[in-house]
Chains A and B, each alone.
Chain A
């Protein structure tokens, strides 16, 4: 036959557990211990409030440009919750809630956006990578980590994040391709928040979904309501189980929405309609999850008050730790190579002599005293 329709076997599904108005599909509801549900809620709320505090610090000139995760907390939190500490998590830069779950202190997050490498100090006991600034490039080393897990045969998996904009980059496609070819225990989580700074999702790709891109690489693709933490947990548990048992990679498109600006350096009013934001606000993951907990009888005003007070105290401590932090400029040199080269040693002495001559503290110390 000269021309016939090809039948390409593939699986492409869409998943949600908790509707926008908080209605639960009980058949799909994941089993999550009550105590974990409360902790997840607290982490989601803490992430939201950490964003708010950082935005305030930025406006007051006490922090650099800040990129909030507002509206996307459920996606990264559901992923982080589903992983074991020994699994690998490779963030992009809007995974605040997931990093808090993995044990990253709030002040570390502040240090990153406050312009200190200390903001990338990974907590002991988890295999996380730090925030990645160049778009999609993290997909590649995430894939490499998954490859290492497979070769070691220790059952570990790697989940990496990127955004909808990143799916236009070559690195995303190369990583998906390698993951497919080597059947790696890799979970590529695309947080489709509909905006890559000012470029909307529909201008990023002609594909009706991002999940379908998985098919071309021979992987399973799954679209999940990324604002529904229960759906994210269901999707991740399946993908992790498959990856651990040699079933290979999965690409998950977590459909979510960036309720705030890209970073404090841009004004979304310039490129997107306020009505669109208003359409998405009822789908905000935080009140949805809150209602779910209330309906289950796990959250009342008393518990909420305790959680609010705990988060407020943690934030105050974090701000204090962040602002009291001082940096030794010899750190510039000490982490370039395993051993300090004679050239770097000479430059380190040169900088120290320069600072001694100036007889004033490094700029950050000055600011901390204000």
Chain B
């Protein structure tokens, strides 16, 4: 199996789908000649031409609005927004239309688009380039919200998202784009959207995470094992809408202790939903209060201080010890 970065595996997923199905299109600012600001669309213009890898004028709402209309005419558009911080300039097209057309037209029309956007902090970028707005989109029912955590699942989930008949917000943790390589099989793989995975099996405590935080959380789990003799189970949600509630409850009932990790602010963060589900379904299995390790309820600081803000292994280890020793 070839080894590749997430940038490469996402590129591969798009190229494979575009080869298979001529209805698959990519559109966005700088996705053509420039091959995307992170080079995720490298080679697509060259291979598929300007009608299928489309450089657009600078207007997020028009990119999403156009993708909705292209969907009505049978295309499967992949819209790239350069950063999640700019997605709010298309927010009304997503909220008012993309997520509603199936319901509005009693399923006559659907919006089979994927909205890809680099997501989260950690790359020393200027303001509006480091936010983690997954809870904002997760709340918009009618959307699916997918957040991969590595090259292999990114490729499988993007493929699944491209062919999904409903609109998918595909958050690409930009800190992971070139952070590490993984074996990615030659043949295309898919993973069902809405299913999480056990990234590390364990018995003492459940640590729930996703996106760029997953890798850090796994490192924290190793430290807990090596230095504190705690066997943590780490869950990778991969999708927050739909949410794999079954996976969460099963693990929680086994361990009785929970830590939730995400980089977005705590207030109304997605961790709140996870914990509510646990309290609703498995309260009497809990041995200790649930801990949250999240970004603070501040604007994410400019990049010189972003690592102080983002959750790290020390905070995850500390929270886990407090939960386990309660």
Contacts and interface: CB of A to CB of B under 8 A. Distances in A.
B61 interface: yes
B301 interface: no
A337 B25 CA distance: 22
A174 B62 contact: yes
Contacts of B130: none
B69 A146 contact: yes
B73 A145 contact: yes
Contacts of B70: 144-145, 147-148, 151
A148 B69 contact: yes
Interface stretch (B96-104, B147-155, B174-182): B96-104
Contacts of B107: 334-335
A133 B92 CA distance: 12
Given A137-B92, A177-B57, A336-B141, A130 B66 contact: no
Contacts of A130: 104-105
B282 interface: no
Nearest to A346: B245
A369 to B, nearest CB: 25
A139 B65 CA distance: 8
Nearest to A156: B73
A247 interface: no
Chain A interface mostly: helix
Interface residues of A, number: 41
Given A151-B75, A152-B73, A343-B245, A144 B59 contact: no
Given A137-B96, A177-B62, 19 more contacts: A88-B72, A117-B104, A120-B105, A129-B72, A140-B66, A141-B65, A141-B93, A144-B68, A144-B71, A146-B69, A147-B73, A174-B57, A178-B59, A178-B66, A181-B57, A334-B107, A335-B106, A338-B110, A338-B166
Interface of A: 88, 117-118, 120-122, 129-130, 133-134, 137, 139-149, 151-152, 158, 170-171, 174-175, 177-178, 181, 331, 334-338, 341-343
22 contacts: A140-B61, A140-B62, A140-B66, A140-B68, A141-B68, A144-B69, A145-B69, A145-B73, A147-B73, A148-B72, A148-B73, A148-B74, A149-B73, A178-B57, A178-B59, A181-B57, A331-B106, A335-B106, A336-B141, A337-B102, A342-B246, A343-B245
